[in-house]
Structure 1
């Protein structure tokens, strides 16, 4: 049997995830504020707001990780 090798975790992982979470929180806050200030039929139902906030957070953290994967090879050069 081969001994288990631990996978190396990038030092840039945590800062990029935190940056993605901060951007996601800002965008989610803007979305909720904009949605609450709208009147009438244009406002989204509460379940749609929850889903949209979750999607905003997921996408922003995912994109931050994609940007990290592009930045890491450039940093090694």
Structure 2
């Protein structure tokens, strides 16, 4: 039926939040290590933005994959 939407899992939000927290902490660690190094060895600003975005995307994506694995194990 066109009026019905896809059912959203109850585990979706906790896993996405956990992935975001892991991504934010890893991004903070990356930026801290980057700023702590010498001025000649630091990454350009655009590289920092790209790396932080990639870290956040990958951590949330992996958390979603982990959620799907947990859900498939719970169905058995």
Q: Shorter-chain TM-score: what band?
A: over 0.9
Once the 2 structures are TM-superposed, how far is the Cα of residue 23 of structure 1 from its aligned partner? Answer: 0.1
Number of residue-to-residue matches in the alignment: 76
Secondary structure class of the residue paired with 1:41: coil
Which ranges of 4 or more aligned residues in structure 1 deviate by more than 2 Å?
2-5
Name the Cα RMSD after superposition.
Answer: 1.1
Query: Could you list the runs of 5+ residues in structure 1 that have no partner in the other structure?
Result: none
The aligned counterpart of 1:58 is 57
The aligned counterpart of 2:14 is 15
Q: How does the TM-score come out when normalised to structure 2?
A: 0.92
